[in-house]
Amino acid sequence: MAEQKSKKVKAIDETLISHQVLQVPFNYSAGPVASRFLIALRDEKKIFGIRCPQCKVVYLPPRGNCGKCLSALDEWVELKGRGKIQSFTKVNYQESTHPSHPEQFILAVIKLDGADTGLTHMVGEAGEDELEVGTLVEPVFREYRKGNILDIKYFRPIKKGRA
Amino acid sequence: MGEQEKTGVELLDISSPANFPYDYSCGKIGSFFFKALRDQQKFYGRKCSECGKVYIPPRPVCGPCYAPTNEWVEVGPQGVLECFTVVHFSFLDPMTGKKRPVPYGYGLIKLDRADSRIQHFLSESDASRLKVGMRMEAVFNEEREGKLSDIKWFKPVE
């Protein structure tokens, strides 16, 4: 065993960085309302909102109770799928809590025709300078869908002639 | 258009695992300690300028005295097992983001000449072969990066 030694503090030339990874596994039950919404995305490529019987607000994503009058909601409304950008931003950084996608992407609040609330999703096939508030967009579905909001790959602008 | 005939829907689980990588600077004191592990396979504690208590892992200020520590003291690499457990429940290790295979031993070791303890893995995962008070020594990894996991584990001294 080494003898007891002591050293005077010296200037440190190299400061070490500790890299750590906290991994947080997280699952939750989507519940009956969101499950039904997601199953329609997955199996039929359809987007459903839900209408309040009392105040007639159509919620997207659908929810079990009306936020305004607390009524139980069960009147499903199939939406056409197309809608308008209400607001958007370009995200210029990547981090591990984002769903997997490129380093830069456009995030938008989209109000689909027939819905009264905006859905937050990504916009693809367009740069931010091609978009404005009010741009008409449509969903692009993934080929393999898992019952997840990312079964919609993104929304893209409706080009003239395609609409 | 209302559509209400669908009932008894399948319930989905949403899975959204997240990684939270984070980095922190080990500072002057921590860097010295980890570099000694990496480059010399030695442990250094910090000694309080007032009460003389030797801290490992090293710290810049003594807890009870509030006095700065001002001296490096080589401690270990042998020590005494002060308490231990055998882990049977696997969980995510924040150092790696992965689960360590169970069962494994984990203990508090008081290194020779140190006044505080360090926690680390033990080579032994059979509790009947571990005993409080037994002599332990550090086993270092061949490849070392300057972190606590440069120590593979502590094993009983033959």
- Complex ipTM: 0.70
Compare all CA atoms of chain B with the CA of A36 and give the residue at the minimum distance. B9
* pLDDT class of B22 with cuts at 50, 70, 90: confident
For B10, the closest of A4, A39, A96 (CB atoms) is: A39
Residues of B in contact with A74 (CB under 8 A): 4
The reply to whether B114 falls in a domain is yes
Q: How far apart are CA A122 and CA B135, in angstroms?
A: 60
Q: For every one of its 163 residues, what pLDDT tens digit does chain A have, with 9 covering 90 and above?
A: 333 444 444 445 688 888 887 778 888 899 999 999 999 999 999 999 999 999 999 999 999 999 889 999 999 999 988 999 999 999 888 776 666 666 788 999 999 999 999 999 999 999 989 999 999 999 999 999 999 899 999 999 998 655 4
Residues of B in contact with A1 (CB under 8 A): 78, 112
Q: Give the residue from B73, B79, B57 showing the smallest Cα distance to B154.
A: B79
The residue that leads in pLDDT, B81 or A10, is B81
Residue B15, pLDDT above cutoff 90: no
Which pLDDT score is estimated for A93?
83
Mean pLDDT of B57-71: 94
Mean pLDDT of B65-86: 95
A28 interfaces chain B, CB cutoff of 8 Å: yes
Q: What distance in Å separates residue B39's CA from the closest CA in chain A? A: 13
Residue B57, pLDDT above cutoff 50: yes
Structural domain boundaries, residue B107 = 27-156
A78 interfaces chain B, CB cutoff of 8 Å: yes
A34 — phi, psi (to 5°)? Answer: -65, -35
Residue B6, pLDDT above cutoff 60: no
From residue B85, give the alpha-carbon distance in Å to each of A90, B81, B99, B133.
Answer: 50, 11, 17, 14
Q: Which residues contact A143 (CB under 8 A, 6 or more apart)?
A: none
Q: How far apart are CA B64 and CA B47, in angstroms?
A: 13
Q: How far apart are CA A74 and CA A89, in angstroms?
A: 33
The reply to whether B102 falls in a domain is yes
Which pLDDT score is estimated for A101?
61
From residue A7, give the alpha-carbon distance in Å to each of A1, A28, A138, B45.
Answer: 18, 54, 69, 11
Q: How many CB atoms lie within 10 A of CB B7?
A: 8
Q: Find out whether A106 and A85 touch, Cβ atoms under 8 Å.
A: no
The residue that leads in pLDDT, B24 or B131, is B131
Compare all CA atoms of chain A with the CA of B9 and give the residue at the minimum distance. A36
**What is the total count of domains within chain B?**
1
The reply to whether B111 falls in a domain is yes
The reply to whether B113 falls in a domain is yes
Q: What distance in Å separates residue B35's CA from the closest CA in chain A? A: 8
A6 interfaces chain B, CB cutoff of 8 Å: yes
Which pLDDT score is estimated for B2?
36
- Determine, for residues B147 and A36 on separate chains, whether the beta-carbon distance falls below 8 Å: no
Mean pLDDT of B67-96: 91
At position A109, the amino acid (one-letter code) is V
Q: Give the residue from A2, A12, A17 showing the smallest Cα distance to B32.
A: A12
Q: How far apart are CA A158 and CA A162, in angstroms?
A: 6
- Determine, for residues A26 and B18 on separate chains, whether the beta-carbon distance falls below 8 Å: yes
Which pLDDT score is estimated for A162?
54
Residues of A in contact with B69 (CB under 8 A): none
The gap between the terminal CA atoms of chain A, to the nearest Å, is 82
Prior bond to A157 cis, omega within 30?
no
Mutate to test the interface with B, among A4, A19, A23 (most CBs of B within 10 A): A23
Residues of B in contact with A23 (CB under 8 A): 17-20, 92, 97-98
Which pLDDT score is estimated for A100?
63
Mutate to test the interface with B, among A17, A19, A20, A150 (most CBs of B within 10 A): A20
Which pLDDT score is estimated for A3?
39
Residue B9, pLDDT above cutoff 80: no
Q: What percent of chain B has pLDDT over 70?
A: 94
Q: Give the residue from A7, A155, A69 showing the smallest Cα distance to B29.
A: A7
- Determine, for residues A12 and B14 on separate chains, whether the beta-carbon distance falls below 8 Å: no
- Determine, for residues B71 and A8 on separate chains, whether the beta-carbon distance falls below 8 Å: yes
pTM to 2 decimal places:
0.65
The reply to whether B4 falls in a domain is no
A9 interfaces chain B, CB cutoff of 8 Å: yes
